Copies of this chain bind each other. A is one copy, B any other.
Amino acid sequence: MTDSTGPVRDNPRTRPAKAPLSRQAVIAAALGLVDEAGYAAVTMRRVAQALDTGPASLYVYVADRDELMAEAYDLALAEVEPPGPVDGDWRARLELLVGRAIAALGGHDDIALVAITRVPTGPNALRLLEATMTLLRAGGVDDSVCPWAADVLDQYVTSSALELAARLRDQRAVAAAGGAAEATEEAMSRAAGSELDAIYGELPADVYPTIHALRPAMTTAGRNGHLYATWKLGVIIDGLLAHRRHP
């Protein structure tokens, strides 16, 4: 029962080099696994498997799963470069910064979920917070409400990144379902969010008159478009500008 495979094990230490196995390697493997398998599929065991080791080895470099995901979140933010003076005035730069953050986070499945449970305090999160508040101050936002404004923008980034991730997931599902024609059609309609439209459509018009009347505008296609994103960001920035001064 002790020796199951026989004479020499498969790879006890046949390969002496392997990988040095550092904290950075563990975090990078976790983020890579988020990309290829999805946020929910990232487990300590699978991260260890990707590094060709056992789950216990990870705990030398990482306290627990929460800390690992928090570090992966910050690593995802590392690719965001704050706009410079060549990118226009403070508002154009702020829109660019927010857009880049959403693109970076949304490109790594639901990694933005990390920012909901805990306030991110990684180096990249702090770097972007600094950049955001600097731009807000340049826009004339009062010092006393600047942190509040950054908070509002942060919530916008997080929720928009999750929306983007969901859209990309649906798109990939559509692309993957290239087999049968009927399956493709079903996937297409799913991607269009028509299951939600179906729910709205089956609602009695007398109890839900407004939903019924606005249903043409409630398609998920319109909700996911580029117009929607820019409109929403415009709403928030203009709202912030209207409340620049302290109440």
Contacts and interface: CB of A to CB of B under 8 A. Distances in A.
Contacts of A86: none
Give the number of times this chain occurs in the complex, counting copies.
2
A19 interface: no
Contacts of A218: 147
Contact of A242 (B130, B134, B211, B235): B235
A148 B163 CA distance: 13
Interface string A205-220: 0011111011001100
Nearest to A146: B214
A22 interface: no
Contacts of A158: 159
A116 B119 contact: no
Interface stretch (A2-10, A69-77, A99-107, A224-232): A224-232
A217 B144 contact: yes
B232 A235 contact: no
A242 B239 contact: yes
Contact of A203 (B126, B133, B208): B126
The 9 closest A-B pairs by CB, nearest first: A239-B239, A235-B239, A147-B218, A238-B242, A133-B210, A134-B210, A155-B159, A130-B208, A235-B243
A242 B130 CA distance: 28
Contacts of A208: 126, 130
A174 interface: no
A209 B129 CA distance: 11
B228 A235 contact: no
Contacts of A162: 116
A223 interface: yes
B214 A231 contact: no
A242 B242 CA distance: 10
A113 interface: yes
Interface in A18-54: none
Contact of A240 (B196, B227, B235, B243): B235
Interface string A74-108: 00000000000000000000000000000000000
B223 A247 contact: no
Contact of A247 (B116, B214, B231): B231
Nearest to A230: B247
A217 B213 CA distance: 45
Given A235-B243, A243-B234, A196 B116 contact: no
